[in-house]
Amino acid sequence: MKTITIGIAFLVTMLLLSFPMILVRAQPETHNADAMWVEPPSTVFNTSNASVGTEFNVTVWLNLTETIFSYQVGLHYNRTQLQCIAAAFTSGITSSYFAGHTTVPAGPTIDTSSLGNGSVLAGESCLGVDSITGPKDASLFWAEFKILLVPSSGNFSSKFDITTEYPANTFVLDTNLNNIDFATYDGSYLFIGPTPVGPSPLSVSISTLSTLVFLSQPVLFNSSVTGGVQPYTVYQWYLNSTQYAGATSNSWTYTPNATGSDNVYLKVTDSNSTTAQSNTITITVSGHPKPFFYGTGVVNITDISLIAKRYGDIGPGFLYPGSPASPGWNSAYDLNGDNKIDMKDLVIICLDFGKTFS
């Protein structure tokens, strides 16, 4: 009973001691004597090998040349990124460093508050005249962590800090209860987020309803633009490899004024000054269709009257996609191919009045 009382009184005294002189250095490749460190020195994850809920361990080690009586370690971590779910001495009820000795262990205690960084506090003390003779290199305790948060982009980084930080102190005492100087090497934690995905390449395509048109028949070209960086700042239509003045929107209505073939394409520039060119559409422009229907080979008043009788007819889909055509609709009378029969069709056949077609 006396021994236990002495041990408890010693623990109280130990917690009231002044702070030690601890040297904080960058993580070396190896650890010399008189050092405390976190193993592994760096813990690195990425989205291919870890996710929320992944668990892993770190261990605190000590290597001292001097004889020691007790120690305390405060292991601090980022509680936003990680949760400590378990901690224990490495040899069961004692650390491997104090294995084979009767000790008074304290902790490891996991801080479950929500204030500041999370911490694991652990310590041990010998009893009476017992001590741990140096030099000695062995582990103290381990802590198990669970990942709480992963970055959607960029990286998360933090430390497993064993330097002096309120509310837990890290120190080692000799048999005279004096602080022993030693170096500490914090562990690092890094979660590498997914590589940012840039915009898909700028892509442009154009389309039109028909590539066979007549003179003076308007042809509507539409475009589809994907990828790149919006908004798209420049639209420029080209006719036979030459910029067409004023054709600077996402659609263009072209009215051919000569027979033959015309090549049309579009160039679009995005907000990142990237320019892409569309596919090329070749349209074939012919003169007026043979506007004789009566079978004489010569355009006469009967042909004109046949079109006049259909005046006002509309083709399928004219009013809206899928809308019905006028009863008796005949596209042969739609001389300019605009899916309706109106004055333009009558003008075309009137211009050809009296002409002979073979």
Each residue's pLDDT tens digit, 193-228: 988 777 899 999 999 987 877 777 788 999 999 999
Which strands sit side by side in the sheet containing 118-126, from one edge to the other? Answer: 103-110, 118-126, 70-77, 171-173
**According to CATH, where is 2.60.40.680 located in the chain?**
2-192
Tell me the Ramachandran region of residue 10: left when phi exceeds 0, alpha when psi lies from -120 to 50, beta otherwise: alpha
Provide the pLDDT for residue 4: 36
* Cα 262 to Cα 15, 224, 242, distances in angstroms: 91, 21, 11
pTM across the whole model: 0.53
Nearest CA among 59, 183, 186, 41 for reference residue 122: 59
DSSP 8-state class, residue 332: G
Please give the full DSSP string across 76-106, using - where no structure is assigned: EE-TTTEEEEEEEETTBSS-STTTTS-EEEE
Provide the pLDDT for residue 221: 96
Tokens 């140096």 belong to 134
13 confidence band (pLDDT: 50, 70, 90): very low
Provide the pLDDT for residue 9: 37
**According to CATH, where is 1.10.1330 located in the chain?**
301-351
Provide the pLDDT for residue 166: 52
Domain 203-286, CATH number (from 2.60.40.10, 1.10.10.10, 3.40.50.300, 3.30.450.20): 2.60.40.10
284 confidence band (pLDDT: 50, 70, 90): confident
Q: Which two tokens stand for residue 220?
A: 């509507």
Q: What is the CATH number of domain 2-192?
A: 2.60.40.680
295 confidence band (pLDDT: 50, 70, 90): low
Q: State percent of the chain over pLDDT 70.
A: 85
**According to CATH, where is 2.60.40.10 located in the chain?**
203-286
**Considering only the top CATH level, what class is 301-351?**
mainly alpha
Sign of CA dihedral 99, 101, 102, 106: negative
Facing residues of 125 across strands?
70, 104
89 confidence band (pLDDT: 50, 70, 90): very high
Of 19-23, 292-296, 315-319, give the lowest mean pLDDT range. 19-23
